Amino acid sequence: MMKLLFLLGCLFFCFNVSGKAMVDTTDYWHVKIKGFQIAEFDERSPKPAITLNIDKLSPADIMTVTYGNDTPCGDCTTNLYVLDDKSQRIVLAEAKGTSAALNVSVEKLKQTATKLKKRVFQVFYTDKGKRNRSIFRLNLGK
C-alpha cells in the first residue's frame, strides 16, 4: 500500500512540476533558405515567426519547409498555404509524403504578398488528412 501511495505521489508531483503531461513524440518543421537552415520549430514553439528581407533575395531563391512527425504518410498530398481575406487558401507549395520538402520560390512569396496586399501572414501546413495547422508567421520585411 505504501508503494502505491509513493508511486501516486510521484506521478502527482511530476504533473504539477511540468504543468502538463509531456507527449512522447512531437511534430516539428525546419525552414531553409538557399539550403541553409534558418529556423527550427515544433508544436511546443511559442508563436513561431520568421522574418525575411525578401528584397535582398533573388526571385529564384527557394524557401524549403520540411515537416516531420511520428506517423508519416508516404503517399498523401502535403502543402503549405496562406489564407486570403475571405479565408480561401492560396497554395504556396505541394508535395507527396509527410517528410517531402515543400519548396516555395521567393518570386511566389512576392506574388502572394502582392495578392494579399500585406507582407506579414500566417503559413499553414496540411497533409490533407491528419494535420492542418499554422506553423509560423512569415514577415517579408520592409
Which residue(s) pair with 92 in the sheet?
none
H or E element, residue 13: helix 2-18
44-63 as b/e: b if 16+ CB within 10 A: eeeebebebebeebeeebbb
pLDDT, one tens digit per residue, over 11-68 is 555 444 444 444 557 899 999 999 999 999 999 999 999 999 988 999 999 999 999 9
Which residues, 6+ apart, have CB-to-CB distance to 24 below 8 Å? Answer: none
The confidence score (pLDDT) of residue 17 equals 45
Q: At which residue does the C-alpha cell 496562406 appear?
A: 82
pTM of the model: 0.80
Mean pLDDT of 114-123: 94
Q: Which three cell numbers stand for residue 90?
A: 492560396
The confidence score (pLDDT) of residue 24 equals 57
Distance CA 86, CA 48 (A): 24
Distance CA 26, CA 9 (A): 27
Closest CA relative to residue 103, chosen from 54, 59, 65, 50: 65
Question: What does the domain layout of the chain look like in residue ranges?
Answer: 26-139
Domain 26-139 indexed as CATH 3.30.70: no
Altogether, the residues listed in the chain come to a count of: 142
Distance CA 140, CA 110 (A): 8
